[in-house]
Chain A
């Protein structure tokens, strides 16, 4: 199961990185959404995927037996999902607003903040 998930996470990461290399802001955004999910899956898998054995620390031991799923990464993912989801919402609105205001979704043409022909500082006076 973990092996399968590892391959899946690898696919997620490569798709995300491929999409984030695009010039178009919508594709970058899709890449970021997949990137966040890839990270969540990574944490989830790292904590072992099983539900058969309850996570109970046996008497005389300080740590969970190696056969149970570690609940802490799952708690971490819950936090991370909430955060990445809210950030994605913000980015979605920002990108749409950027498209409305700037009239393009091509990041090469978004040169409003950094104009192409900005003058050099004067060389003397």
Chain B
């Protein structure tokens, strides 16, 4: 038995003494909700009729929580909650800043749309496979990656979303899916392992994993430690996750194999988590090293854009065409990271937000086109305009938005990026942005012409749609199209929010302040 100590131990040197205010719990509420609902859905896996009733209200609640989070961050700046009351950097912190909250909110919107679409698209076999529990875990991983303030924790969220994406990818266990999943799984696992190696080296250099702590120490170490090498490793790992050229080949090999709603989720969310991590690490933690490596990022970005657009031009299968459109979008975001500064990074954030919505809408639309036309192939599709004029109108909006033509949301990020690229004299990068947009316009215009506009080829009998129209299919598409429309016509709010997010990335004083309110433990 230890003798009772006479002096009370001063815990305030190690622990957060004040209880966490209720409002701060908001930052972990989205992940808590998603993991809890995922567990409940696993328990009721065999009561298929309950899945929709649990999952859709859960996703609505996720949207509301993320909206509250964004509201609070926009009003009062970043805020932090640290696990176990251990003072940062020892406890694992969750920090919501403008970038994380914005990405989380848009992802939640997209997940809600996909969840509603899945009510019709995923049959009882797919539900028994566990579509909805996996969707919940995927959203926990995605939201957690956006809101965590600890770099090893970021790795753990990456793994959570990766393992749920494996489950979603092979939903149905078709031969084609297994072929695609094998390539997806191996290459993505290598990317996260590379990320883990970089985290290990980072800890060896800094002795801390807390992002705010790293950000304030980065300058002190930049002269002595091999930070450029470390940054190059991080860039390789995140570029692989984001499907940037030349490590993009897993995406067109796998994204067309799962159910269309799964492909929509992946195309919208997963690659964006990669570019988010790239922005967080390269812009906030290692700004000097980003400057050093910006030429490498820029070349990769330009090639990604052009390769993606050329790939889209060469595809006969609608889903594979959409996969290459995703890659082209990633190139634009990388270009913004390469340009740097508030304008460039703001453009990248804006493009990422637009791309989350547009890519999910594109995949859902392609799914609708195939359902109505009875084929994925441009050779045989045709006459959709006659059968479904409203779907055709949605296609028009989504294609213009994806290609970056006015008056839809794709225009503004491209303008911001072009201006930022010209301002720093990177004429070839702006040329790549324009060429990629031009090629995408041709590719998508051709899809519109062949699949929607031309009369159905004579040798193809008019096939009845494989399943009838339903609001569960049209409502999500209409909602996403409305978002593309709205942000195209009223770009002030997203532009100012993304510029604010970029400014807080470039100067993370407020972020550091929220983690270490009193200067913190050294």
Asked if residues A121 and B379 are in contact (CB atoms below 8 Å), the reply is yes
Among B156, B162, B189, the most chain A Cβ lie within 10 Å of the Cβ of B189
Contact of A98 among B182, B252, B446, B450 (CB under 8 A): B182
Asked if residues A91 and B186 are in contact (CB atoms below 8 Å), the reply is yes
Asked if residues B175 and A121 are in contact (CB atoms below 8 Å), the reply is no
Asked if residues A32 and B190 are in contact (CB atoms below 8 Å), the reply is yes
Asked if residues A113 and B189 are in contact (CB atoms below 8 Å), the reply is no
Give chain B interface residues in 144-200, CB to chain A under 8 Å: 152, 156, 159, 162-163, 166, 170, 173, 175-183, 185-186, 189-190, 193, 196-197, 199-200
Over the window 88-122 of chain A, the binary record of Cβ atoms lying under 8 Å from chain B Cβ atoms (1 yes, 0 no) is: 00110011011001100001001111100011111
Give chain A interface residues in 1-58, CB to chain B under 8 Å: 20, 25, 28, 32, 35-36, 39, 42-43, 46
Asked if residues B200 and A35 are in contact (CB atoms below 8 Å), the reply is no
Contact of B193 among A63, A84, A101, A110 (CB under 8 A): A84
Asked if residues B253 and A114 are in contact (CB atoms below 8 Å), the reply is yes
Among B156, B170, B175, B521, the most chain A Cβ lie within 10 Å of the Cβ of B175
Name the CB-closest residue of A to B194: A39
Asked if residues B190 and A20 are in contact (CB atoms below 8 Å), the reply is yes
Asked if residues B166 and A42 are in contact (CB atoms below 8 Å), the reply is no
Asked if residues B450 and A76 are in contact (CB atoms below 8 Å), the reply is no
Name the CB-closest residue of A to B152: A76
- Measured CB to CB, the closest approach of chain A to B179, in angstroms, equals 4
Give chain A interface residues in 44-88, CB to chain B under 8 Å: 46, 62-63, 72-73, 76, 79-80, 83-84, 86-87
User: Are A121 and B450 also in contact (CB < 8 A) when A90-B166, A113-B253, A113-B256 are?
Assistant: yes
Q: Which residues of A contact B178 (CB under 8 A)?
A: 94, 97-98, 101-102
Q: Which residues of A contact B377 (CB under 8 A)?
A: 119
User: Are A119 and B379 also in contact (CB < 8 A) when A76-B203, A101-B178 are?
Assistant: yes
- Measured CB to CB, the closest approach of chain B to A72, in angstroms, equals 7
Q: How far is the CA of A39 from the CA of B196 in the complex (A)?
A: 8
Q: How far is the CA of A74 from the CA of B244 in the complex (A)?
A: 33
Query: Which listed segment binds A: B28-36, B314-322, B339-347?
Result: B314-322
Q: How far is the CA of A73 from the CA of B377 in the complex (A)?
A: 51
* CB-based A-B contact count at 8 angstroms: 109
User: Are A112 and B179 also in contact (CB < 8 A) when A76-B152, A91-B185 are?
Assistant: yes
Q: How far is the CA of A107 from the CA of B203 in the complex (A)?
A: 37
Q: Which residues of A contact B183 (CB under 8 A)?
A: 107, 110, 113
Asked if residues B521 and A122 are in contact (CB atoms below 8 Å), the reply is no
Q: Which residues of A contact B257 (CB under 8 A)?
A: 113
Q: Which residues of B contact A107 (CB under 8 A)?
A: 182-183
Q: How far is the CA of A72 from the CA of B450 in the complex (A)?
A: 59
Q: Is B378 an interface residue (CB 8 A)?
A: yes
Q: How far is the CA of A79 from the CA of B151 in the complex (A)?
A: 14
User: Are A90 and B196 also in contact (CB < 8 A) when A32-B190, A102-B178 are?
Assistant: no
- Measured CB to CB, the closest approach of chain A to B191, in angstroms, equals 12
- Report the interface size class on chain B: 35 or more
Q: Which residues of B contact A86 (CB under 8 A)?
A: 163
Q: How far is the CA of A107 from the CA of B178 in the complex (A)?
A: 12
Q: How far is the CA of A35 from the CA of B189 in the complex (A)?
A: 10
Among A46, A111, A114, A120, the most chain B Cβ lie within 10 Å of the Cβ of A114
Asked if residues B185 and A90 are in contact (CB atoms below 8 Å), the reply is yes
Contact of B159 among A43, A83, A121 (CB under 8 A): A83
Q: Which residues of B contact A72 (CB under 8 A)?
A: 203, 209
Asked if residues B204 and A46 are in contact (CB atoms below 8 Å), the reply is yes
Q: Which residues of A contact B189 (CB under 8 A)?
A: 32, 87, 91
Q: How far is the CA of A113 from the CA of B178 in the complex (A)?
A: 9
Q: How far is the CA of A40 from the CA of B446 in the complex (A)?
A: 50
Q: Which residues of A contact B522 (CB under 8 A)?
A: 62
Q: Is B332 an interface residue (CB 8 A)?
A: no
Name the CB-closest residue of B to A90: B166
Q: Is B454 an interface residue (CB 8 A)?
A: yes
Asked if residues B454 and A125 are in contact (CB atoms below 8 Å), the reply is yes
Asked if residues B317 and A118 are in contact (CB atoms below 8 Å), the reply is yes
Contact of B180 among A46, A91, A113 (CB under 8 A): A113
Asked if residues B176 and A112 are in contact (CB atoms below 8 Å), the reply is yes
Q: Which residues of A contact B163 (CB under 8 A)?
A: 86-87, 90
Q: How far is the CA of A37 from the CA of B187 in the complex (A)?
A: 17
Q: Is B254 an interface residue (CB 8 A)?
A: yes
Q: Is B57 an interface residue (CB 8 A)?
A: no
Name the CB-closest residue of A to B186: A28
Q: Which residues of B contact A87 (CB under 8 A)?
A: 159, 162-163, 185, 189
- Measured CB to CB, the closest approach of chain B to A46, in angstroms, equals 5
Given contacts A90-B185, A113-B254, 9 further A-B contacts (CB under 8 A): A32-B190, A62-B522, A87-B159, A87-B189, A94-B185, A102-B178, A113-B177, A113-B183, A120-B314
Q: Which 9 A-B pairs have the closest CB atoms?
A: A112-B179, A113-B180, A113-B179, A43-B200, A121-B378, A121-B316, A101-B175, A46-B204, A83-B159
Which chain A residues have a beta carbon within 8 Å of chain B's beta carbons?
20, 25, 28, 32, 35-36, 39, 42-43, 46, 62-63, 72-73, 76, 79-80, 83-84, 86-87, 90-91, 94-95, 97-98, 101-102, 107, 110-114, 118-122, 125
Which chain B residues have a beta carbon within 8 Å of chain A's beta carbons?
152, 156, 159, 162-163, 166, 170, 173, 175-183, 185-186, 189-190, 193, 196-197, 199-201, 203-204, 207, 209, 252-254, 256-257, 314-317, 377-379, 382, 446, 450, 454, 457, 521-522
8 A-B pairs with CB atoms under 8 Å apart are A35-B193, A39-B197, A46-B204, A72-B209, A87-B189, A90-B163, A110-B179, A114-B252
